[in-house]
Every structure is written in C-alpha cells, then in structure tokens.
Amino acid sequence: MDRKKLLFDLLDQFKLKAEIKEKFNLFVEEIYLYNQKVNLTGITNYYQFLDKNIYDSLLILKLNIIQEQTTILDVGTGGGFPGLLLAIIYEKINFILIDSIKKKTNWLIYIVEKLALKNVTIINDRIENLSDYEEKIDLLLARAVSKLPLLLEISTFLLKKDAYSIFYKGKNYLEESKKINQNFLEKRGLRLEHIYKDKLLDNSERYFLLFKRINLNYKKEMINYQRIKKII
C-alpha cells in the first residue's frame, strides 16, 4: 500500500498546496511512529486513521468559516485534531491548542517543532483555567471532547462578542442538544446559528454545531459545574 498516495488522494478533495500536503505527510508518518511509544490515538488501521482523524478534521473547510480570524482555539485537541491540521493550512492565523493531558501536549510540542510551525501555542491545562484568554478568541473548536452543556459552560467565556464556537458531533448530538433549551442558551449569551451535516468516508455522520456568542454577560466566575453535572 502506498501510504503517501492514499493520503494525497484524500487531501486532493480539499485542494491543498503541494507543500501543505508534504507537511501532512510528515505529520502522519510522525504520529504513526510516536504512537508506537506513546498511545495518542486508538486507531491503528491506516485507512481508518486517515478517515477518522485527517478527513474528519478537514471537513470543516467545506463550511468556509475559517477566513479572517486572528485567533482560533482548539479545546481538548489531543493529537492535534482538528487544531494542528488547520494550523498547517492557515499559517497566518494564531492557533492555541489546549489539552489537560501532558503526554498529548508533549507530542504537540515535538511535532510543531518538526513542522517548524510558528503560529501555534500549546497549553497543558484545563480550558476552565484559561483566564488570560478571556474574551480573546475569534473561533473556538472542539472535536470529541465533553457533552454539549458542559462544553458550552466551560468554554463560552473565552469567545469575543459575535465570535463562534464550532463543535464536531456525532449523530447523538440530538440527545445532547435536548438538554440545551432556549433559556440555557440565553443565560449564557449564546445562539445556535446553524447545524451542518456531512459524512465521513465510512458513511458515518458528522454534524457541526455552530454557536454564536451574542453578548458578554456570562462571565468565567459564573461557571457552575454542579449545576451542569445535574443536566448531563
């Protein structure tokens, strides 16, 4: 199997420049090697890895939402999905990649240096602790992190007014969304703007939930885990 060809065929759907595709190839080969020492991703089948991690992360490009943002934050980025992949493509945008697990941020430090990326800040912490970035983020992303109510509760304080959060969700998003009524959103100054639907190569469904922060009334100190735990 020609791994590079498989990867490049898949990337061709996103019309990426040759040098970007080479960086993706380096990323994929490096994560494969690294994953043998440190468990970063459970998926070891190459084709599945391309589909579930690379292709899925890049589906957001089709939404044409990433354009003029200055700062994009990826919550619980893990191995760098989707944040690191997007940082390779958008080298003029600052990406903040945060994860609470040290072995994951160690990997990110390693690969960012290998790829010589200058637009990435890696933070080993919990999102709830990011006071320095309060109201500084233009676009917040999260793939496979917490359930929706918790995600909204702990991350909204980071967004600027009129900025968006986009959450990658599976088909169970409906179940999670039921816990979020209009009152929940209004209280946190949020509006659900849009739900985009797409498919992975294996036909599984991908939903992108797009929330807009319409006012700055809900502050970091108002985060209430106990109340949220009762909802989820």
Ligand X SMILES: C[S@@+](CC[C@H](N)C(=O)[O-])C[C@H]1O[C@@H](n2cnc3c(N)ncnc32)[C@H](O)[C@@H]1O
**Is 213 known to sit in a ligand binding site?**
no
* CB atoms closer than 10 angstroms to residue 198: 14
Residue 127 sits in the site that holds ligand X (CB under 6 A): yes
How far apart, in whole angstroms, are the C-alpha atoms of residue 76 and residue 224? 20
Contacts of ligand X in 177-206 (CB under 6 A): none
Which stretch in 3-11, 98-106, 206-214, 219-227 sits in contact with ligand X by CB under 6 A? 98-106
Residue 124's Cβ-count burial label (10 Å; 0-12, 13-18, 19+) is middle
Which stretch in 120-128, 177-185, 200-208, 221-229 sits in contact with ligand X by CB under 6 A? 120-128
Residue 153 sits in the site that holds ligand X (CB under 6 A): no
Omega prior to 149 cis, within 30 of 0: no
Which stretch in 69-77, 112-120, 157-165, 182-190 sits in contact with ligand X by CB under 6 A? 69-77
Residue 219 token pair: 């502050």
Residue 76 sits in the site that holds ligand X (CB under 6 A): yes
Residue 216 token pair: 């700055």
Residue 104 sits in the site that holds ligand X (CB under 6 A): yes
**Shortest distance, position 111 Cβ to ligand X, whole Å:** 14
Amino acid in position 43: I
Using CB under 6 A, pick the residue from 28, 49, 78, 228 that binds ligand X: 78
Give the side-chain half-sphere CA count within 13 A for 53: 24
Residue 119 sits in the site that holds ligand X (CB under 6 A): no
